[in-house]
Amino acid sequence: LPPTHAPAPHHPPHANLTARRMGLSRDKRHKRRATGGRRAIHIKKRKYEMARPPSMTKLGPKRVKEVRVRGGNHKYRAMRLEYGNFSWGSEAIAKKTRIMEVNYNASNNELVRTKTLVKNAIVQVDAVPFREFYKQHYGVVLGKKKGKDEEKDEKLSEAAVKKQARRRKTMGVIESAIEDQFRQGRLFACISSRPGQCGRADGYILEGEELAFYLKRMQAKKKK
């Protein structure tokens, strides 16, 4: 008996390969001119104009993919991250700490809702590594709640106590806004690396005018 349906046409394996690989492009030929006129497209897409989909890095256990790029180089596409190195500028230190929450993004509120890590995203990080450094370096506990029994400090040698006393003379004044954040156990920080390119979410603790600016923006966003 003849077959009830015609066999599917056979396509060579490379037929749709170019279409799949070159779907996203960074060329300007498909854009209109500044005057509104349309450009005549006289060449096809080029490999060097190829783009890739965004990584949309989320909060979660670390998962990074290695991508081979032009010239035999490699990029590291972070799919999920939960730790990063954050520097505290006024104290000139950096600590590895956990990213707790994504709080603000100037470009898109949807990136806050989906907890997407991108460059310049404002996040909250765990304050414990910075509090421990401050206690060890200066002998001062940041964010201590008033009216509660003080924790028993570890017994230090006389030399260590003298060293902390000398360091306290050079100790700067901690802003009240940062002191409040230490009390809550979370610090506002800005991501300065590109997680989709280097596979890391590193940044710096917000201080001074920059912290005041973003606190104001986040308060305005809550009122809406």
d(CA 187, CA 177): 10
Q: Express each pLDDT in 128-153 by its tens digit.
A: 999 998 888 887 888 776 655 455 55
Nearest of 18, 68, 73, 74 to residue 47 by alpha carbon:
18
pTM, two decimals, is 0.77
**Dihedral sign of CA atoms 97, 102, 104, 106 in order:** positive
Tens of pLDDT, residue by residue over 53-95, are 999 999 999 999 999 999 999 999 999 999 999 999 988 899 9
Contact 34, 57 (CB under 8 A): no
Q: How far apart are CA 201 and CA 123, in angstroms?
A: 11
Query: What's residue 19's pLDDT?
Result: 47
Q: What is the DSSP letter of 11?
A: -
Residue 149 has what pLDDT? 47
